[in-house]
Structure 1
Amino acid sequence: MAMRKLKHKQVPVWIRLRHLPVELWTVKGLSTVASGIGRPLYPDAITRACTRLDFAHVCVMLDVSSKLPKHIIIMMPKEEGGEITCKIDVEYEWLPPKCTSCMTLGHMAKVCAFTKPSNPAIPPVSVLFLKRYLQGHHPCSRLKGWTNRERDELPHGKTKREYRRLKGWTTSERDESISCRPKRRTTKERDESVLVKEG
């Protein structure tokens, strides 16, 4: 048996019709006005009894694919002839969340499964490369316990036997901190830069 998702496109909603003329406080009049919003179902008991004239309370079946107006314009005939325009305000007591992407009820477009990517791309982070750079190539690697005469194991499994002295980096002996500010080297200092080998 194949499973499929039901698409709900209609929902019953209570609306309030304000500034409704007295001539329209009938079952036929309320149905005519409410049909401008959706399919009229029934009014409440107070509206049928006409004991509250501030607004008419009517339940209608709304179609989520259609726009929901806030006003309804009705042309009513005059006794002396002609027509008069009546503007009726519409208030919705509750509206379900509507997705503008799949046009269904129950969720918004930002959390819709049809528009949300299933496997979001995660940006790669070069953690191993950064660790190798800090331990083996950064001039401040002495802070990690590296010295010029130690035989340490590199990340690739090779043994480092030769270390080049770092010329051009000033070291403060007082606080044993290494400054990452290079200084100019003279020709004599560059010539004295040698390789130190294990004995």
Structure 2
Amino acid sequence: MMHSKKRIIKRVVIACLILVVSGVWLVGYIDVNKRFPKPEQQVHSIGEWVRTGDTSIKVNSVEYMPQEEANSQYGSELLPDNGNNSNTYYFIAKIDVKNETDKEIKLSKTLLEHLGLEIYPVGVLIYGEVMENGELTSIKLKAQEQREIVLHFIMSQGVLRDDRRWMLKKSQIRIVLSNYPVHEIIVLDDIKGL
């Protein structure tokens, strides 16, 4: 009886050692940076035309303003004003978009679903909405048409609390066009109202 217990314990110990040694070998064998390399980064600035898919875009200006001011200037009432939104701010980006194809395209499908405002290193990523005359809209561009659109990015309490908003001044704020295989960004250096 005692002899068989020692034999079982010996087998369990040997099996555990084999698992540990093979686990250490596997971790050493898999080089994460070789299998999943860091993407190449392309950095652009405000006022520079950037080709992305079927469109070219140019960021003209970006403003940071409270909800009341954004509502009066741009009609951007994305959140209903129920008195709790006094701490809600907007990033308003004016962007020129040009259709580079010979067919009509819908911006919500080709560009806007990939376009996000990233605040780094805070860790905020917001997707914007296009509004015209105070209403959400879907913009179509004819072949070779160029047009200015206004994107509204909401910065509410749920996105970034008031006591952490001071970090915006020390952060890099950028529009992300793609993440992989090329990390393509437009750095927003001159933001009015920030």
TM-score by length of 1: 0.23
TM-score by length of 2: 0.23
- Higher strand proportion: 2
Larger radius of gyration: 1
